[in-house]
């Protein structure tokens, strides 16, 4: 992978306990992950798979039970790392009694931005997310889509190097979803790193460079989207101008018949199919975990 | 009149600060470690985690940003305004002012005292719960609504979250108190000025009708009201010797001297600003003595007393004319600078045949601020009762309105303290539990003297378990408990509770020391020194509470 490591987890585990300290659930089991600069990384998994726990651990909202989480080479609990992070939570947890301008101004102050910079960033971001006409309205009057937009704006107030998006397209209409995906791709073009988790597999497939699939707190798959979706035991030839006889000895026939070989490749499945397959396999073989290799391509391994 | 005169000192404030800082910080760390142990799985991990958080304190302290602090503070202010708390507060205040007058005593002489006490109490009872409620609910509701997730994922220190909230809510409380103070003052002055005008009108009518007695009574009432509408700057004696007779009252606040005897009450003063007295050309005294009569005496005549002013360095003395003691009133006597031959001038044993040309300069020469005031009772078979604060030199008077504002500052300090306590609790307790805990601290802070007595084992009837045993066995408070295993057990448990209580008395803020309302109500100036010491004492509590809150917030998982 090209860029520097932005996020790294080493045997990251999280156990939730009850009031008396008794173990309630092991939400994350020895997660090893590296996310590099400039990539869009997707965390996938069914409900309760540990996606949100991973994000919360990376943001320092939870403390790991074992292992460690590093962001920009610093411990996840180190507040200074937040200077370079933008975070859009799943539900856009914002203060409903503030209006859009006040919201962005408030978060801008938290980044210690001076007044003129705050004003400029606020204006630019409100324009960008299309809330110019509603900027004086309190957030309690906003629709879910509008709330997502202002949530996104607050995540970008500091022009972050790492953007963490929890269900970024949730609540958005098709146009909003398209705009959000375009924006995520734009962020990559600007050299930003994006970590997102989503249930909408088509969104992930459209924008992510690499994905990790979690199930029951364990990492089940990790790799480039193209690699993971590739069906390796099937070769697909795409040709033009051939008749039916040419199908037995393809290359020879192509050569003999003067046909043009356009491509030889493996077909890809959909992310939805892959996701369902991983979940089914995980349920059939609980405890089998993907262990990423330190070098070379990633491969499945049982644990 | 029982006027508090024991002013807190800088030394006591510093000692309080160090002890509270250590106690609360240590307690905060232990509690934070225990709380962290719940989420981290083991006690060791919990305490290690809390220690790591604690070690971040100096770094976070250095990284404090005023812009971030103000952002959080301003946010709290906006929250209070937008959630219409201020409207609710002022609504309650208006209702109280509209109908409060119906239930207040209407005796003119007590009017200022009653109204000042009432409005300051009303302000306290409105602003304290409002501030405490906001502070208790603000952070827990942020955690519950998860709005805090978007805050702590910014480069905001946990310390900034705590200080910002205390700052913001204190600004809200300050704004409310400023408006309430102004409204209270106007309300009180309108009522009192109305009474004054009425008294003046009645006095004019009595004068016209030639009713001297009624006119004198009305003038007395007028004087009493006007005497409360000032802010006296007194100099109190540091020692009183002489009155030793107990006339049989259960409360022994005042002791008595016998009339027409060698008995004398001797007040010793130091640090008397003699230059100020020379500029005033008098030594103005005010006193409130009580009289115990063993005979009816002369009808219509009061008990006679006489004052001697003495310089202990030069042994020069001036004995003034006798005067009638006015019971239940503030008696005013002053030694002016006239070389009045009717007074007695003495130097040691030697009585001067002629008065000095400038009696005050003669008396105060080389005194180094020391002075002795001697009071004797001249009426046979009558007794004059007094306590040390009953006599003082009235060195100056200050503006009543300003003094009222200083009284409001006393309320503000209490609110400031309660807000910081509430914010601390809200870092690890849910909103309603934090409210209960804050209310407990408030109640404990109000009865600190009782708690200190209980912690020292001076409570009559013993500790709570001994008291319970006495209740069950129907035993009175004086009789020692029968020896036996139950008594030993009871006393043992009470001893352990005493130990805990002793620790608590260091942690709980003594809210009584901030109550300067009685000084305002009785017409005494609240010195700037008192205000500063109270402010430092309040900060002495707020800083450790903030540190403890930091430990809690630092060691807790925000997203749980």
Residue of A nearest to B41 (CA): A21
Q: Of A19, A61, A82, which has the smallest distance from its Cβ to B155's Cβ?
A: A82
Q: Among A171-180, B29-38, B432-441, which range has the highest average pLDDT?
A: B432-441
Measured distance CA(B56)–CA(B157) in Å, rounded: 10
Q: CB under 8 Å to B141, separation ≥6 — which residues? A: B431
Give the mean model confidence (pLDDT) for residues A175-204.
Answer: 88
Contact B83 A83 (CB under 8 A): no
Contact B71 A56 (CB under 8 A): no
Q: Of A21, A59, A111, which has the smallest distance from its Cβ to B37's Cβ?
A: A21
Give the mean model confidence (pLDDT) for residues B145-160.
Answer: 93
Listed by number, the residues of chain B in 77-106 with a beta carbon closer than 8 Å to a beta carbon of chain A are 78-79, 82-83
Q: What is the pLDDT of residue B3?
A: 44
Mean of all residue pLDDT scores within chain B: 86
Asked whether the predicted pLDDT for residue B154 surpasses 60, the reply is yes
Asked whether the predicted pLDDT for residue B15 surpasses 90, the reply is no
pLDDT band at A293 (very low <50, low <70, confident <90, very high): low
CA-wise closest residue to B503 among B445, B449, B540, B452: B452
Contact A110 B83 (CB under 8 A): no
- pLDDT 10s digits, B318-355: 998 999 888 777 888 888 888 887 889 998 888 888 88
Asked whether the predicted pLDDT for residue A240 surpasses 70, the reply is no
End-to-end CA distance of chain A: 25
Q: Of B38, B60, B74, which has the smallest distance from its Cβ to A21's Cβ?
A: B38
- pLDDT 10s digits, A63-76: 998 899 999 999 99
Task: Point out which residues pair with A10 in neighbouring strands.
Answer: A68
pLDDT band at A119 (very low <50, low <70, confident <90, very high): very high
What does pTM read for this prediction? 0.81
Contact B145 A63 (CB under 8 A): no
Q: What is the pLDDT of residue A35?
A: 94
Q: What is the pLDDT of residue B36?
A: 80
Q: What is the pLDDT of residue A298?
A: 41
Q: What is the pLDDT of residue A295?
A: 46
> Smallest CA–CA separation between A110 and chain B, in Å?
5
Chain B hits for A60, CB-CB cut-off 8 Å, are 152-153
Asked whether the predicted pLDDT for residue A245 surpasses 70, the reply is no
Kindly state the DSSP code that residue B399 receives in the 8-state scheme.
Answer: -
> Does B144 contact A at CB distance below 8 Å?
no
Mean of all residue pLDDT scores within chain A: 84
Contact A60 B152 (CB under 8 A): yes
Contact B320, B306 (CB under 8 A): yes
Instruction: Pick the range with the lowest mean pLDDT from A146-150, B15-19, B475-479.
Output: B15-19
Residue A258 burial by CB count (10 A; 0-12/13-18/19+): exposed, middle or buried? exposed
Residue of A nearest to B560 (CA): A62
pLDDT band at B37 (very low <50, low <70, confident <90, very high): confident
Distances in Å between the Cα of A250 and the Cα atoms of A232, A235, A257, A263, A265 are 19, 12, 10, 12, 14
> Does A102 contact B at CB distance below 8 Å?
yes
Contact B145 A82 (CB under 8 A): no
pLDDT band at A300 (very low <50, low <70, confident <90, very high): very low
Q: Of A61, A65, A80, which has the smallest distance from its Cβ to B149's Cβ?
A: A61
> Does A17 contact B at CB distance below 8 Å?
yes
Give the mean model confidence (pLDDT) for residues A133-154.
Answer: 91
- In this structure, the strands spanning B371-377 and B265-269 are antiparallel
CA-wise closest residue to A37 among A84, A89, A82: A84
- What is the ipTM metric for this complex? 0.81
Q: What is the pLDDT of residue A299?
A: 40
> Does B68 contact A at CB distance below 8 Å?
yes
3-state secondary structure of B238: coil
Give the mean model confidence (pLDDT) for residues A49-66.
Answer: 92
Q: CB under 8 Å to A60, separation ≥6 — which residues? A: A76, A77, A78, A79, A82, B152, B153
Q: Of B38, B154, B560, which has the smallest distance from its Cβ to A111's Cβ?
A: B154
**Which of A110, A158, A159 best tests the B interface by mutation, with the highest count of B CBs <10 A?**
A110
Asked whether the predicted pLDDT for residue B305 surpasses 80, the reply is yes
Chain A hits for B68, CB-CB cut-off 8 Å, are 109-110, 112
Q: What is the pLDDT of residue A256?
A: 67
- pLDDT 10s digits, B89-102: 778 777 777 777 67
Chain B hits for A15, CB-CB cut-off 8 Å, are 41
Residue B530 burial by CB count (10 A; 0-12/13-18/19+): exposed, middle or buried? middle
- pLDDT 10s digits, A1-31: 446 999 999 999 999 888 777 778 889 999 9
């Amino acid at each position: 992978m090209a860029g520097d490591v932005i996020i790294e987890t080493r045997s990251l585990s999280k156990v939730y306990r009850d009031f008396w300290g008794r173990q309630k659930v092991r939400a994350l089991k020895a997660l090893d992950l590296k996310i590099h600069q400039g990539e869009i990384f997707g965390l996938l998994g069914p409900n309760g798979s540990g996606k949100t726990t991973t994000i919360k651990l990376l943001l320092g909202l939870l403390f790991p039970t074992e292992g460690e989480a590093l962001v920009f080479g610093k411990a996840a609990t180190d507040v200074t790392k937040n200077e370079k992070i933008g975070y859009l939570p799943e539900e856009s947890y914002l203060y409903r009694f503030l209006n859009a301008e006040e919201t962005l101004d408030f978060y801008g102050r938290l980044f210690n931005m001076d007044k003129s910079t705050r004003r400029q960033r606020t204006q630019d971001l409100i324009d960008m997310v299309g809330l110019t006409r509603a900027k004086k309205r309190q957030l309690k009057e906003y629709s879910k889509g509008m709330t997502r937009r202002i949530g996104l704006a607050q995540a970008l107030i500091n022009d972050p190097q790492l953007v963490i998006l929890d269900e970024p397209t949730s609540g958005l209409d098709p146009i909003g979803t398209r705009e959000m995906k375009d924006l995520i791709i734009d962020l990559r073009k600007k050299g930003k790193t994006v970590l997102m988790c989503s249930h909408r597999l088509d969104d992930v497939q459209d924008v992510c460079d690499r994905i990790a699939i979690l199930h029951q707190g364990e990492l089940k798959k990790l790799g480039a989207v193209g690699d993971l979706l590739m069906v390796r035991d099937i070769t697909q030839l795409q040709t033009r101008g051939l008749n039916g006889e040419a199908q037995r000895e393809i290359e020879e026939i192509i050569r003999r018949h003067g046909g043009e070989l356009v491509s030889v490749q493996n077909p890809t499945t959909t992310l939805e199919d892959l996701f369902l397959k991983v979940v089914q396999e995980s349920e059939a073989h609980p405890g089998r975990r993907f262990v990423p290799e330190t070098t070379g391509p990633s491969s499945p391994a049982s644990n | 009149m029982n006027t508090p005169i024991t002013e807190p000192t800088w030394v006591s404030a510093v000692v309080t600060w160090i002890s509270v800082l250590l106690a609360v910080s240590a307690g905060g760390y232990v509690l934070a470690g225990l709380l962290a142990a719940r989420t981290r799985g083991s006690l060791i991990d919990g305490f290690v985690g809390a220690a790591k958080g604690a070690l971040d304190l100096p770094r976070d302290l250095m990284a404090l940003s005023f812009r971030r602090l103000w952002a959080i503070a301003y946010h709290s202010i906006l929250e209070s305004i937008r959630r219409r708390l201020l409207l609710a507060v002022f609504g309650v205040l208006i209702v109280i002012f509209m109908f409060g007058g119906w239930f207040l005593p209407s005796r003119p002489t007590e009017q200022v005292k009653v109204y000042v006490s009432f409005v300051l109490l009303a302000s306290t009872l409105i602003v304290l719960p409002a501030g405490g409620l906001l502070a208790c609910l603000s952070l827990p509701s942020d955690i519950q609504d998860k709005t805090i997730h978007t805050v702590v994922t910014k480069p905001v220190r946990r310390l900034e979250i705590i200080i910002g909230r205390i700052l913001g809510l204190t600004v809200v409380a300050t704004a409310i108190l400023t408006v309430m103070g102004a409204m209270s003052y106007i309300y009180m002055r309108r009522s009192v000025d109305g009474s004054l005008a009425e008294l003046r009108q009645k006095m004019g009518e009595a004068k016209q009708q030639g009713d001297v007695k009624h006119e004198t009574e009305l003038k007395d009432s007028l004087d009493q009201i006007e005497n409360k509408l000032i802010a006296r700057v007194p100099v109190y004696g540091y020692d009183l010797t002489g009155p030793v007779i107990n006339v049989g009252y259960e409360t022994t606040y005042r002791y008595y001297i016998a009339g027409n005897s060698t008995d004398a009450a001797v007040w010793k003063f130091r640090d008397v600003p003699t230059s100020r007295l020379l500029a005033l050309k008098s030594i103005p005294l005010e006193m409130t003595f009580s009289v115990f009569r063993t005979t009816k005496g002369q009808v219509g005549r009061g008990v006679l007393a006489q004052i001697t002013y003495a310089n202990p360095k030069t042994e020069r003395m001036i004995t003034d004319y006798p005067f009638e003691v006015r019971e239940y009133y503030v008696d005013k006597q002053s030694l002016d600078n006239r070389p009045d031959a009717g007074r007695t001038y003495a130097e040691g044993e030697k009585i001067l045949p002629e008065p000095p040309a400038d009696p005050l300069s003669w008396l105060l020469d080389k005194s180094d601020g020391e002075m002795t005031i001697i009071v004797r009772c001249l009426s046979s078979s009558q007794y004059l009762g007094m306590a040390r604060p009953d006599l003082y030199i009235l060195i100056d008077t200050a503006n009543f309105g300003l003094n009222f504002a200083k009284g409001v500052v006393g309320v503000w300090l209490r609110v400031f303290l309660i807000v910081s306590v509430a914010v601390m609790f809200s870092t690890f307790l849910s909103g309603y539990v934090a409210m209960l805990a804050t209310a407990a601290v408030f109640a404990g802070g109000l009865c600190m003297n009782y708690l200190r007595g209980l912690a020292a084992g001076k409570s009559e009837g013993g500790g709570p378990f001994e008291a319970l045993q006495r209740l069950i066995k129907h035993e009175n408070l004086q009789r020692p408990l029968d020896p036996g295993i139950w008594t030993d057990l009871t006393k043992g448990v009470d001893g352990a509770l005493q130990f805990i209580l002793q620790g608590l008395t260091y942690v709980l803020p003594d809210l009584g020391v901030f109550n300067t309302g009685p000084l305002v109500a009785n017409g005494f100036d609240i010195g700037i020194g008192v205000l500063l010491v109270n402010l430092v004492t309040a900060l002495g509590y707020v800083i450790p509470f903030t540190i403890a809150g930091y430990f809690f917030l630092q060691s807790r998982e925000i997203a749980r």
